[in-house]
Structure 1
Amino acid sequence: VTPGFLVPMWTIYVLLFAVYVRGQHFLQEAVNQPGYCEGEHECHSHDDQTKIHRAYSQTSNVTNTTNQIMDLFKVSCQKLIESFPMDKVDGDYVRTVKNCVFSRSLPAPLRAPVTLAAVSKSVIEDLLDLDIRVTQTDAFLHYVSGAELIPGSIPLAHRYGGHQFGYWSGQLGDGRAHLLGQYTNRKGEIWELQLKGSGKTPYSRAGDGRAVVRSSVREFLCSEAMQALGIATSRAASLVVSEESVWRDQFYDGNVRKERGAVVLRLARTWFRIGSLEVLTRGGELDLLRKLLNFIIENNFPAIATEDPDKYLVFYSTVVRETAHLIAQWMAVGFAHGVCNTDNFSLLSITIDYGPFGFMESYDPNFVPNTSDDEGRYSIGAQADVGLFNLEKLLESLQPVLTTSQQQRCVQHGPHGVTFHQLFKAKLGLLGEEEEDGNLIAFLLKVRLYLAVNVSTRVNPRYVLRNWMAESATRKAETNDFSEVVLLHDVLGNPFIAQDAAEETGYAARPPLWGRRLKVRCSS
């Protein structure tokens, strides 16, 4: 059984993703606006990129040119700082934060030697405009481990809240992540660079602000694997592993053990999530709620006119549609996120915050990747229900800025479900439109056949990041052997094509006996 042929479709879920506004409000897929340039220090011109590449061409000695190159590579938090009130209190001590979207917070350098375990060439070169050779330098290692700040960086920690396992959890926020700044690349794309595992912030609660190797390996690999599968996701540029000790009770059974710290440099167009809005509505900070909504729409939803009196309604409609599409994509490759809390659901409908995720080994609608989820709330078969719950919480957070008429329009359900239908037709190789297609798909999946049909390799991946594969790579990484991390990164970058190294390692086969009862938890 090829791992990509794993996912059922339950026709009832089609109804759950009814769009809350009329069809004319459905908009084209959101894309980012070109970068902003408010001054010579606020963005990168084509000339800057030319200077970077010229510096490489003038010498083969990367070390001698690194400082020059990295000095030209700049990020900025200026737009974010100027757009929102900042936390008036300094310091990383844990506290309740009010009337702001961000707190200033510095990464804490790791207190032991660090090693660059892996990098994503496509992120480094295609998104950050850097030659891959720069990753071989000490300067790069210092930047991506949090030991030094990238020029222009004023690190921030984002304040947000969220519903966790169905209950409001109050203030959450970036408890172990630091937003380094925005980078505008030569294509005009704005990417927000964030270190994860980089130390305490005001939102760390009882945590130490660190991430461990096992969770960091999984996030690095799965971010880039999802990109290769064509599923909207945050990206991962680098993985750094440290000798610093981090203590974790991995299975919440009282057995605390020493693990190694790690840091991932990850990127997204924005890290705002449903919980970013919820915390403001719940706190009665409605002026700030409008300010944040206007900022998100202006910078990430260019198809929405900023002067449109229905802009919040259209924004909501767009997020509903794109979130439904995202969850359909997850299910089409057998992916279960594991912790579908509102604080983990992006407003840009991209996959973020990889934790105890999992890919199904065989068809099971009750598959739960997170063994901390005792009730199975986030089973793969419940993801559509959870998506609807989260979208309802988004609507609740928008209600204070909607008119009575707009609120009434939001509860009008319209047909939605073509996303699920089309994805599964493609996976089964069904051509044309037939009335009984839906019944056929439901029947075939109900009896759990994975089918000898002429399916396209473009929609059925041969390789996905199964738990045993990530575990194998993690065990080696713990001993400073990063060979399997690199191998998996390469293999998962081409998931639809059979590869000799992957076949020899058994990546398309059933898991080995030792890997069939692996447990994944939130403790990372």
Structure 2
Amino acid sequence: MHFLGIPTSRALSLVVSEEAVWRDQFYNGSVRKEKGAVVLRLAPSWFRIGSLEVLTRAGELDILRMLLNFVIDQHFTAIKPNDPNKYVAFFSAVVNETANMIAKWMSVGFAHGVCNTDNFSLLSITIDYGPFGFMEAYNPNFVPNSSDDEGRYSIGAQADVGLFNLQKLLEALLPVLSLDQRSQFHELFKAKLGLLGDEEDDAYLIAFLLKLMEDTGSDFTMTFRQLSEVTLLQLQNNSIPQELWALWDLSSHEYFSDWVKLYSQRIGSQPGDSEETRTGRMTAVNPCYVLRNWMAESAIRKAENNDFSEVALLQQVLTEPFVKQMKAESAGYSSRTPAWASQLRVSCSS
């Protein structure tokens, strides 16, 4: 996540025990022993929205003010301690930065999995990695958490859930997140398509593409990446190289050529913009590699047998997710998801 440019806590160490623990991964009574492990994570602060919410509910207002003052003094230094509106300024900052974080999640197809107030940082960084996942086939209802039967925390619901969490901080700031969230989402997806400036139909162009992706089940990450690697002429002539498999899936849609026509017209309206500069911009924001569940599962299976080679490979690859890497390509990290992993999901006990 860090190397994808997304605000996040960081992992300092992973300690694995030889002592086995019982795990019921899918809460279905199928219990098995797995090695125990502890991840040590680092963040500037671990205070979260729930840290304030619990004090308000308990009526501990003096402690609430103390905690707010501490967080502002330590982490929001642009806010002056004697500012009579410092709490409003603090909430505004949290709203704006949380909107930015969620927009960035969605721009790379990341679903957190458990977006309650206790898992949302006051510093607007990604914390509490549990049953998360990166969306593969585009599906706005994608749910990585096998325990989330109702889809409360689906990828498409994350903006609304984030808004709900921020309402717990300040109901009066409801419109701020709504407007900013749309703006952040819009700008990030324009960048993913290499669009410059603002045109009236940009939102339609983005929505049209996402609908085609949903209908065809096109891979989220690789569709945008491969749009960064194909020429406009190849798109217009539907002469897409076979190795660009995600675009092949997308091109099967009956309205694909209509979208290409609109996209070509939009790109062509950008004065002085060349194919090379367009693809350069796009490859800088569309990753080749994200941590897909099957990649993690493959590494875990090997690590359980004391083979940490794939763990090391993933660590190397994911530090440069926007750069094509020979070892990653050989491992199939930008290829179709293996058949054995097509329905792989995780839970809070994974």
| TM-score greater than 0.5 by the shorter chain | yes
Matched, 1:267 2:42: yes
Q: 1:255 to 1:412 in 2, by over 3 A?
A: closer
Range that drifts further, 413-422 or 288-297: 413-422
Q: Report the counterpart of residue 490 of structure 1 in structure 2.
A: 316
Q: Report the counterpart of residue 305 of structure 2 in structure 1.
A: 479
In structure 2, C-alpha distance between the alignment counterparts of 1:411 and 1:422, rounded to whole Å:
21
User: SS at 2:41's partner residue?
Assistant: strand
Between structures 1 and 2, the one with greater strand share: 1
In structure 2, C-alpha distance between the alignment counterparts of 1:258 and 1:473, rounded to whole Å:
18
Give the superposed CA RMSD: 1.5
Matched, 1:255 2:81: no
Query: What pairs up with 1:257-296 in 2 under 5 angstroms?
Result: 257-296=32-71
Query: What pairs up with 1:24-423 in 2 under 5 angstroms?
Result: 226-395=1-170, 410=173, 415-416=179-180, 417-423=182-188
Q: CA deviation at 1:519?
A: 2.2
Amino acid across the alignment from 1:506: G
Amino acid across the alignment from 1:344: N
**TM-score normalized by the length of structure 2:** 0.79
Q: Deviation string for 1:265-292 (max 9, x for gaps)? A: 2100001001111111111111101000
Q: Report the counterpart of residue 469 of structure 1 in structure 2.
A: 295
Q: CA deviation at 1:412?
A: 6.1
Q: Report the counterpart of residue 457 of structure 1 in structure 2.
A: 283
Amino acid across the alignment from 1:495: P
In structure 2, C-alpha distance between the alignment counterparts of 1:281 and 1:384, rounded to whole Å:
24
Of the three residues 341, 347, 350, the one matched with 1:521 is 347
Matched, 1:440 2:205: yes
* Unaligned runs of at least 5 residues, structure 1: 1-225, 397-406
In structure 1, C-alpha distance between the alignment counterparts of 2:302 and 2:70, rounded to whole Å:
44
Amino acid across the alignment from 2:303: A
Q: 1:301 to 1:257 in 2, by over 3 A?
A: same
Amino acid across the alignment from 1:311: K
In structure 2, C-alpha distance between the alignment counterparts of 1:355 and 1:411, rounded to whole Å:
28
Between structures 1 and 2, the one with greater helix share: 2
Amino acid across the alignment from 2:145: N
Q: Report the counterpart of residue 194 of structure 2 in structure 1.
A: 429
**TM-score normalized by the length of structure 1:** 0.53
Q: CA deviation at 1:239?
A: 1.0
Q: Report the counterpart of residue 213 of structure 1 in structure 2.
A: none
Q: CA deviation at 1:372?
A: 0.6
In structure 2, C-alpha distance between the alignment counterparts of 1:411 and 1:498, rounded to whole Å:
41
Q: Deviation string for 1:321-346 (max 9, x for gaps)? A: 10010000000000000111110000
User: SS at 1:447's partner residue?
Assistant: helix
User: SS at 1:253's partner residue?
Assistant: coil
**Percent of matched pairs sharing the same residue:** 71
Structure ranking higher on relative contact order (CA contacts 8 Å, 6+ apart): 1
